[in-house]
Structures are given as structure tokens and as C-alpha cells.
């Protein structure tokens, strides 16, 4: 790891970061790091400090340097901020804004009241933040509910995007091709191992929006190769009773137009207007979330190259899928007193996640 102060003045050299912070409880762990709750001694302010071991990181320094480079460029109300960086002989310390409201799905399950309008508001905030990233030339590449955190415990808390470990800065003339992300949220063009663009983030937002409205994923199978084939074919359904307001002919419409950008999605009536219903859908959605999202494959971000090599190019590739229910759970047993509004269904139908990027 470089130690040139003049080349990297944003790294503050210290002998022991504990001279500046009281380290309290452990918040989480990763492959190269731990995240701890820390209180600044001088001000009493609390932060989440990501402690990166240089020994564990050896040979992979570019990954954390890329994350730092991205975080130093961005400042948005719905993105967890990088406040400071300290360096010692053995560690890097990324001092991050502390968000204390918990993960998206956990809060939805805990709430007693949750509506389609709440889902619309959440997606609008995510779209606004990701649109900002895209204007800055940054692609997140691992958008998923576990990376969407509430700022605080208040009912009206804003949502925050976190974890830029797989993010990438777009460079003019370059294309992205690394297969990375989280199974279930990754876009078809990534699984197809084609060059891809910022549109992969829009796909992931579409998957999240789908789940927020019904509680189960649009794509699911215990077998990775079958899951990937569902995604590659955009093989999902708008199951009754959630999506009853739009006809099957509209649902199955094939269109070569590219999916919505974040900017386009922000103008959709379901996001920008007042068409989202205020009917309480908490019981059915929270029940499905509890049922479907304890599975590890929906919670782990990874480089997919090896998995893809085994599932898409090896003997595990299925010739056909026998299961037509893309949730692969007992979604048909769900009950709801009313369907979601037509605009929410149209939000998906109109170029967001139904229409796949044409590969060229």
C-alpha cells in the first residue's frame, strides 16, 4: 500500500487511530475488514469505522483504493458519506457516516403499516441517488436491499445507499465486463458475460421494486444455473392477486427498446405522481419477506466469473425449465384484499426490468 503523503494527502497518517476514537461495538465483518462503532474523542460524534487490514488486503489493494476513489467523489443525501481516512502501518481506517435505522427489509417487517406509496417513495429515493451516481460516471454494481439502510429509527427516515466495494468509475472508451454482483439482482447482460453499462443498476432497482410490492423475488431457484437462466430470459411473472390490473397481453409484450434509465424512471407516474395506493399491504409483504430472504444467495455480493463458468458453460446448463413460477415458493397461497395499482405494474412493463438490453 502506498505511503506517499504528497501523492495521497487525503490519507491522514497516525500512529494509533484509538488516540482519536473510542472503539465500541463491532457492527460487521468482511473479507478484508471489520466495521466498528466509534466515538470521536474530541467531539463526541459517532461514526462507523471500516478497519481494513493491509496484511489481509495484500495483492488486492486496488479494490479498496477503487472504493475510496469512488467515495471521495460523491456527496448525496441518500448515500452514506465517507468522512475521513486514516492510515497506520498496519491498517487503513475509513471513517463513514453512521446510519442507525437498520436494513430495508428488517424495517418493513417490523412496521405495522406499509403501503404501495411507501414502496414508491423508497424507490424514488434510490433512483435519485443512483441517477446522481450515473451523472458522476459511477456504477454501483451491487444494489440490493441489504445495501439500503435507514438513516435513523424515525418513521419518516430517509433511505441510504451503502457499500461501494464493487462500484466502478466509467472511463470514456472503456467497457465493463467483470461478472460481479449478487445472484438474483444481477442483470442479464452481466450473466451473459457481455460488456455492460450503468443500466445494470437500473435492472437491480427494478428487482428491488418488485420485491417491495409483493415480498418475494421475481427470479428464484435453489439451483444457480436455473436461476441464471430465468434472469437471462427475463422469465418472471406478475402473480395474482398483486398485479391483476394489467392484461397478460401487455405483460408479455416484447419490445427491443432499452430499459428505463434512472432519469426516465423518475418521471414515471408511479414515482413522480400520486398513483401509488395507500392501502396497507404490510401483512402479505412482510410474510413473504420473512419467508424468502433468509437465503444466503440473496445476501452475498461476489465475483460471479467462476459460478458462471460452471453453470452457463458446463454440464449444469439446463435445456429447459419445468417450473413456471419464478418465485419458486408458495406464492399462489398468498392472499390480499386488493391488487396493486395499474401504474405500479406499468412501471415494470415499460422498459424497466421487463425489457432486456439488446446485446450488440
d(CA 231, CA 294): 20
Coil, strand or helix at 46: strand
142 assigned to active site = yes
Query: Which secondary structure element, helix H or strand E, spans residue 188, and what is its range?
Result: helix 188-191
Task: Select which of 16, 19, 90, 142 is catalytic.
Answer: 142
3-state SS record for 256-303: CCCCCCHHHHCCCHHHHCCCCCCCECHHHHHHHHHHHCCCHHHCCCEE
d(CA 148, CA 322): 34
User: What is the phi/psi pair of residue 89, to 5°?
Assistant: -60, -35
Q: Which three cell numbers stand for residue 246?
A: 394489467
Q: Which three cell numbers stand for residue 267?
A: 418521471
CA distances from 268 to 147, 250, 271 (A): 24, 17, 5
* Sequence-separated (6 or more) residues with CB below 8 Å from residue 131: 261, 262, 263, 266
d(CA 286, CA 302): 27
Residue positions forming the annotated binding site: 58
Residue positions forming the annotated binding site for ATP: 58
Do 339 and 244 form a contact (C-beta atoms < 8 A)? yes
Active site residues: 142
Amino acid at each position: 500500500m502506498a505511503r506517499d503523503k504528497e501523492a495521497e494527502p487525503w490519507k491522514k497518517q497516525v500512529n494509533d487511530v484509538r488516540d482519536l476514537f473510542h472503539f465500541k461495538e463491532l457492527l460487521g465483518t468482511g473479507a478484508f475488514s471489520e466495521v466498528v462503532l466509534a466515538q470521536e474523542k474530541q467531539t463526541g460524534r459517532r461514526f462507523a469505522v471500516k478497519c481494513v487490514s493491509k496484511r489481509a488486503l495484500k495483492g488486492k489493494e486496488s479494490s479498496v483504493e477503487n472504493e475510496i476513489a469512488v467515495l471521495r467523489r460523491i456527496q448525496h443525501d441518500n448515500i452514506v458519506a465517507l468522512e475521513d481516512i486514516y492510515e497506520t502501518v498496519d491498517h487503513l481506517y475509513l471513517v463513514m457516516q453512521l446510519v442507525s435505522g437498520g436494513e430495508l427489509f428488517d424495517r418493513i417487517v417490523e412496521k405495522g403499516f406499509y403501503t404501495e406509496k411507501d414502496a414508491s417513495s423508497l424507490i424514488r429515493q434510490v433512483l435519485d441517488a443512483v441517477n446522481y451516481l450515473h451523472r458522476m460516471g459511477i456504477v454501483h454494481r451491487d444494489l440490493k436491499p441489504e445495501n439500503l439502510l435507514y438513516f435513523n429509527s424515525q418513521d419518516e427516515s430517509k433511505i441510504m445507499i451503502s457499500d461501494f466495494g464493487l462500484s466502478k468509475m466509467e472511463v470514456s472508451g472503456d467497457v465493463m465486463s467483470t461478472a460481479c454482483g449478487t445472484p438474483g439482482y444481477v442483470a442479464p447482460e452481466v450473466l451473459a458475460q457481455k460488456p455492460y453499462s450503468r443500466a445494470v443498476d437500473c435492472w437491480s432497482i427494478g428487482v428491488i421494486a418488485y420485491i417491495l410490492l409483493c415480498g418475494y423475488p421475481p427470479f428464484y431457484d435453489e439451483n444457480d444455473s436455473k436461476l441464471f437462466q430465468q434472469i437471462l430470459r427475463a422469465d418472471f411473472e406478475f402473480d395474482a392477486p398483486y398485479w391483476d390490473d394489467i392484461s397478460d397481453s401487455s405483460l408479455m409484450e416484447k419490445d427491443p427498446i432499452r430499459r428505463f434509465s434512472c432519469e426516465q424512471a423518475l418521471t414515471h407516474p408511479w414515482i413522480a405522481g400520486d398513483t401509488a395506493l395507500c392501502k396497507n399491504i404490510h401483512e402479505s409483504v412482510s410474510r413473504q419477506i420473512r419467508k424468502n430472504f433468509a437465503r444466503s444467495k440473496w445476501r452475498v455480493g461476489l465475483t460471479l466469473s467462476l459460478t458462471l463458468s460452471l453453470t452457463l458453460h458446463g454440464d449444469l446448463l439446463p435445456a429447459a425449465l419445468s417450473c413456471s413460477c419464478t418465485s419458486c415458493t408458495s406464492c399462489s397461497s398468498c392472499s390480499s384484499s386488493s391488487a396493486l395499482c395499474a401504474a405500479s405494474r406499468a412501471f415494470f412493463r415499460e422498459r424497466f426490468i421487463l425489457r432486456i438490453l439488446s446485446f450488440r
